[in-house]
Structure 1
Amino acid sequence: MTMNRRQFLTRAALAASATTLLRPLLSTAKATLPPTPPTEFVLLRRATGYFIGRGGTIGWYSGKNALAAIDTQFVETARIFLEQMPGRSGRTLDVVCNTHHHSDHTGGNPVMKPASKLLVAQRRVPMLQLRNAERFHTTPLQVFADTLFDTQWSLDLGDEHLTARHYCPAHTAGDAVFHFEKANIVHMGDLVFNRLYPVIDPNGGYSVRGWVQALDSAIRDYPADAIYLFGHGNARFGVAGSRSDLSLMRDYLTALLSFVEKGIAAGQSREELAEALPNLPGFDDFHVPPGRGNRFPDNVRTTYDELTRLKGV
């Protein structure tokens, strides 16, 4: 069901009022959270780098006259990020951005938004974020972007220029790619899981075909010598890389589509295809043992759903 702006505002207002009522419960819940993981700031170039903790990679810029962050992880690590951000010294951030709506990229919004002049996301993100929160009963915890765009956005940060593009439904219906142009660092969000089987969210407006198109477009649009940041990465390969890593992600998704298309043409069922292979041949760095930690069967299922829906099966 499509949610219009009026419905979104009504439901978001109810969420805000519920936060006040649930605050004592939320405070108690903090005690049950897992220990805060190790965190690290990595400077790449021109006062720009990335932060790792729990959740999606945070990209950051810390200039003399401006501060910016891409994604917010969760509350605990967002606090650490703000307290330890290189060069911040208590200054207000000029902008915080969400690459998409998933909670490991927006969960720190309650901490980051009050510390920033703007919270930016693609236009579909707040509605997807609210819908996701309603599914998981976390609506009172949500803080939403206040500055939205459709396909392109930009902000002058003095010694840096930050731009964003949304291509099409891919990992979700609201993915955005952010580019620190002078540093030439591109944050891909979860459009790239570096040598990991990706999360394909059946409730987030995904399109595997669109994902391939989005990566092709990013490869075309951004410089060959850019440093790329990824939402998640295999521990052996990390969350920063090159254009070749985008190409590998695209090639995996293309091979996934081909594998599922051939299975459908051969008359295989959804579950027969999902159980046919433990891993996809040709992508050894993605391979993990069978079991709960292996997302390949779910990748097959969601791709099957997309392709059969398009065929009207």
Structure 2
Amino acid sequence: MTGRDFRIGASAIVTAFALTALLPSAAQAQRDFSKVEITTISLGDGIFMLQGAGGNIGLSVGEDGPFVIDDQFAPLSDKIMAAIKVQSDQPVAFVLNTHYHGDHTGGNEAFGKAGAHIVAHDNVRQRLLERDKEADAVSPDALPVITFSDSLTFHWNEQEIYVWHPNPAHTDGDAIIFMNDANVVHMGDVFFNGGYPYIDIGAGGSLNGYIETHEKVLGMIDSDTKIIPGHGPLAKKADLERTVSMLKDVRQRIQSLIDAGLEEDAIVADDPLSDLNGEWGGGFINGERMVRTVYRSLSGD
């Protein structure tokens, strides 16, 4: 296999994974989730991070009942519910979606049917409706029944849970969740810890908005804050600082090539991120895809 063949293959794999995350539950069921295990990490104060396949899940438990942030893929719902029951025998009260992608909302229908109230930004409900109508798979149980435009606050399980909608970053429906009493923040896919991020330009995402959101969150947390990223291991402030520094560097490099008159394929051929790819390009988004995403975001193409 040549180097070019490998790059094409890697790009196709990433694209396929991204498309799976966007598909409704019926299409996701074609994947084999039988060997996926849900792991639970305690963050203290009744807060947990759950990992399986798809986006990281946040969980608050207490006297009021489980409060869940994101719910991964539909076929994992039973496993996720079982993991939650280990921490609380009460029914899930709320499921808050950080955005609309299927690896964060696939379990909505199962949780909704079980009595949970689905909460999300206004744009998430609209995008779920549009996506699922195209697949003839609309289920009222999977749709948010509570939506917000800018922010809202839950006073739940002796926690103040503040939900804030940033300017378009990963998508146009992102939610950042601060569990203030526990000093925990869930950033959804506005933070990929340890790799290049996936910025969904087709869903209103923006590199500049992504960086702007990172900087705003950094101004709201301290060195003791525990950060649940959309993907990757549990993080702290220093991890977010490293990521935003990398993104600013990437933006500067590609903007300078745009300013020099180079178009997308020429910039890809120039390989401006070659020295960063070893550290940042081994995950969901490889170096070439990152270059193309940043070019399209900065150029408006």
TM-score interval for Structure 1 and Structure 2 normalised by the shorter chain: 0.7 to 0.9
Distance 1:247 1:285 in 2: 15
Given candidates 276, 282, 290, the residue that maps to 1:299 is: 290
Q: Which residue of 2 aligns with 1:172?
A: 171
Query: Displacement of 1:66 after TM fit?
Result: 2.4
Q: Which residue of 2 aligns with 1:12?
A: none
Query: Contact 1:190–1:231 (CA<8 Å) still a contact in 2?
Result: yes
CA-to-partner distance for each residue in 1:31-54, whole Å, 9 max, x for gaps? x43133122111120111111111
Q: Which residue of 2 aligns with 1:49?
A: 48
Letter in 2 for 1:160: Q
**Alpha-carbon spacing, 1:29–1:272, altered in 2? closer, same or farther (3 Å):** closer
CA-to-partner distance for each residue in 1:180-216, whole Å, 9 max, x for gaps? 2221111010111111121121311011011111111
Residue 78 (structure 2) pairs with residue 87 (structure 1): no
Q: Which residue of 2 aligns with 1:97?
A: 96
**Alpha-carbon spacing, 1:229–1:119, altered in 2? closer, same or farther (3 Å):** same
Q: Which residue of 2 aligns with 1:67?
A: 66
Query: Contact 2:77–2:110 (CA<8 Å) still a contact in 1?
Result: yes
Letter in 2 for 1:256: V
Structure 1 counterpart SS, 2:68? strand
Structure 1 counterpart SS, 2:253? helix
Residue 229 (structure 2) pairs with residue 227 (structure 1): no
Query: Contact 2:123–2:172 (CA<8 Å) still a contact in 1?
Result: yes
Which structure is richer in relative contact order (CA contacts within 8 A, separation 6 or more)?
2
Letter in 2 for 1:246: L
Query: Displacement of 1:94 after TM fit?
Result: 2.2
Given candidates 268, 271, 276, the residue that maps to 2:270 is: 276
Distance 2:285 2:28 in 1: 29
Letter in 2 for 1:172: T
Query: Contact 1:70–1:99 (CA<8 Å) still a contact in 2?
Result: yes
CA-to-partner distance for each residue in 1:133-185, whole Å, 9 max, x for gaps? 456x3744682111111111111114222111111000111111112222111
Query: Contact 1:63–1:87 (CA<8 Å) still a contact in 2?
Result: no
Q: CA RMSD in A?
A: 2.5
Query: Contact 2:33–2:75 (CA<8 Å) still a contact in 1?
Result: no
Structure 2 counterpart SS, 1:303? helix
Q: Which residue of 2 aligns with 1:193?
A: 192
The count of aligned residue pairs is 274
- Counting aligned pairs with the same residue, the percent is 25
Query: Displacement of 1:127 after TM fit?
Result: 1.6
Letter in 1 for 2:297: E
Given candidates 29, 33, 36, the residue that maps to 1:35 is: 33
Q: Which residue of 2 aligns with 1:249?
A: 243
Distance 2:107 2:63 in 1: 24
> Which residues of structure 2 form unaligned runs of 5+?
1-24
Query: Displacement of 1:112 after TM fit?
Result: 1.5
Query: Displacement of 1:29 after TM fit?
Result: 8.6
Query: Displacement of 1:116 after TM fit?
Result: 4.3
Distance 1:172 1:29 in 2: 21
Query: Displacement of 1:295 after TM fit?
Result: 2.7
Distance 1:155 1:116 in 2: 18
Query: Displacement of 1:82 after TM fit?
Result: 1.0
Query: Displacement of 1:77 after TM fit?
Result: 1.8
Runs of 4+ in 1 over 6 A off after TM superposition: none
Query: Displacement of 1:81 after TM fit?
Result: 1.3
Q: Which range moves more in the overlay, 273-282 or 45-54?
A: 273-282
Given candidates 256, 259, 272, the residue that maps to 1:262 is: 256
Structure 2 counterpart SS, 1:275? helix
Q: Which residue of 2 aligns with 1:16?
A: none
Letter in 1 for 2:159: E
Query: Contact 1:120–1:148 (CA<8 Å) still a contact in 2?
Result: yes
Query: Contact 1:52–1:58 (CA<8 Å) still a contact in 2?
Result: yes
